């Protein structure tokens, strides 16, 4: 079960429920095109690939992204929807008692957009017991995608920073040698562990990348430095956990 994930810290997984993902993609496209005031076509993925044509500046694109995030989150329970679409792979990782990030992050990366996602890893400060689902709404390949350092090389890179905090060149060498751009077609998602270094570079593929990322972890996992009350909601609990929490509540208050 998830042996690739265990070894590398990441895995590209196919949707269990492709019709539900198609529906989510259409919803994202419809909101996007309403926001930019343009008629949609029959080709949903084509519409999303062309989104960049509506924007004159990175600032405009970012304003659009924020509005899209807000509208999508208010119209769709994205955390539950994404979990259901990929349940067979996610539930064995996080267990039956699940916290989900309150608001998903939507990322819009037009071609030549000068501000890619900087190299970073989520944990710390996030919990090292989190899994991130990176879900593209278009086909992502080469520079249109994101890169990841696998578990082994993330560990090497982390050690390098620890031992040589000022050696940026050495760190970049590790990155250049081992970071892999992920090929994630629409219909799949990249899931990765919060301890992996990841980021993106300038998109040179001539098409827009629109993706979301959202985090899941076990209700009883260590919180890291991010307050779980502020950043996470309960997505589901097992029957056994329900009994245990009910028991504890009665012991304390009744």
Partner 1 sequence: MKKYLSILHDYESGDFFEPGVSKMPNLDLQRKAIDVLLQKRDARQVQEFKTSVDQRFSTKDVIFETDQFSGIVFFSAESLRTKNREIDLKLFNSLYEEFAEIFIIIESISIENEQEFLSVSKRFISLNYCVQRDASDEWKDLVSQVTIGSINQ
Among 14, 67, 102, 178, the residue binding partner 1 under the rule CB under 8 A is 102
**Subset of 180-239 contacting partner 1 (CB under 8 A):** 219-223, 225-230, 234
**Subset of 103-132 contacting partner 1 (CB under 8 A):** 124-125
Q: How far is the CB of 159 from partner 1 (least distance, A)?
A: 15
Closer residue to partner 1, CB minimum distance, 204 or 249: 249
Closer residue to partner 1, CB minimum distance, 60 or 246: 246
Q: Largest Cα–Cα distance of the chain, in whole Å?
A: 63
Q: Classify residue 248 by burial, with Cβ atoms within 10 Å: 0-12, 13-18, 19+.
A: exposed
The yes or no reply on residue 243 touching partner 1 (CB under 8 A) is no
Sole window of 13-21, 183-191, 196-204, 245-253 interacting with partner 1 (rule: CB under 8 A): 245-253
Phi, psi of 194 (to 5 degrees): -70, -15
The yes or no reply on residue 245 touching partner 1 (CB under 8 A) is yes
Q: How far is the CB of 209 from partner 1 (least distance, A)?
A: 24
Which residues contact residue 106 at a Cβ distance below 8 angstroms, ignoring those fewer than 6 apart?
A: 65, 68, 69, 72, 210, 211, 212
Q: How far is the CB of 230 from partner 1 (least distance, A)?
A: 6
Q: Classify residue 114 by burial, with Cβ atoms within 10 Å: 0-12, 13-18, 19+.
A: exposed
Q: Quote the CA–CA distance of 240 and 101 in Å, as a whole number.
A: 23
Q: How far is the CB of 92 from partner 1 (least distance, A)?
A: 12
Q: How far is the CB of 134 from partner 1 (least distance, A)?
A: 19
Number of amino acids touching partner 1 (CB under 8 A): 23
Closer residue to partner 1, CB minimum distance, 167 or 242: 242
| C-alpha closest to that of 7 among 193, 217, 190, 159 | 193
Q: How far is the CB of 201 from partner 1 (least distance, A)?
A: 23
Residue ranges of alpha helices (H) inside the chain are: 3-8, 18-36, 44-49, 58-75, 78-85, 87-94, 151-163, 168-178, 228-231, 239-253
| C-alpha closest to that of 25 among 65, 64, 81 | 81
Q: Which two tokens stand for residue 37?
A: 């005031």
By the criterion CB under 8 A, which residues form the site for partner 1? Answer: 6, 102, 124-125, 219-223, 225-230, 234, 241, 245-246, 248-249, 252-253
């Amino acid at each position: 079960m998830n042996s690739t994930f265990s070894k590398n810290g990441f895995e590209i997984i196919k949707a269990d429920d492709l019709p539900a993902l198609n529906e989510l993609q259409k919803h994202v496209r419809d909101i996007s095109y309403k926001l930019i005031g343009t008629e949609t076509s029959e080709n949903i993925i084509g519409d999303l690939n062309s989104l960049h044509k509506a924007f004159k500046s990175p600032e405009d694109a970012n304003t659009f992204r924020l509005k899209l995030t807000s509208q999508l989150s208010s119209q769709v329970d994205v955390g539950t929807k994404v979990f259901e679409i990929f349940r067979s792979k996610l539930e064995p990782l996080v267990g039956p008692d699940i916290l989900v990030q309150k608001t998903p992050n939507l990322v819009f990366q037009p071609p030549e957009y000068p501000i890619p996602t900087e190299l970073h890893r989520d944990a710390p400060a996030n919990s090292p017991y989190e899994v991130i689902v990176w879900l593209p709404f278009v086909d992502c390949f080469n520079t249109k995608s994101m890169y990841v350092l696998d578990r082994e090389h993330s560990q090497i890179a982390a050690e390098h920073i620890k031992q040589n905090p000022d050696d940026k060149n050495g760190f970049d060498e590790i990155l250049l040698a081992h970071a892999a751009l992920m090929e994630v077609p629409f219909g799949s998602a990249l899931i990765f562990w919060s301890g992996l270094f990841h980021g993106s570079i300038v998109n040179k593929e001539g098409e827009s990348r629109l993706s979301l990322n959202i985090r899941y972890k076990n209700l009883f996992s260590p919180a890291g430095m991010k307050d779980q009350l502020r950043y996470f909601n309960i997505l589901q609990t097992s029957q056994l956990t329900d009994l245990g929490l009910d028991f504890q509540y009665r012991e304390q208050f009744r």
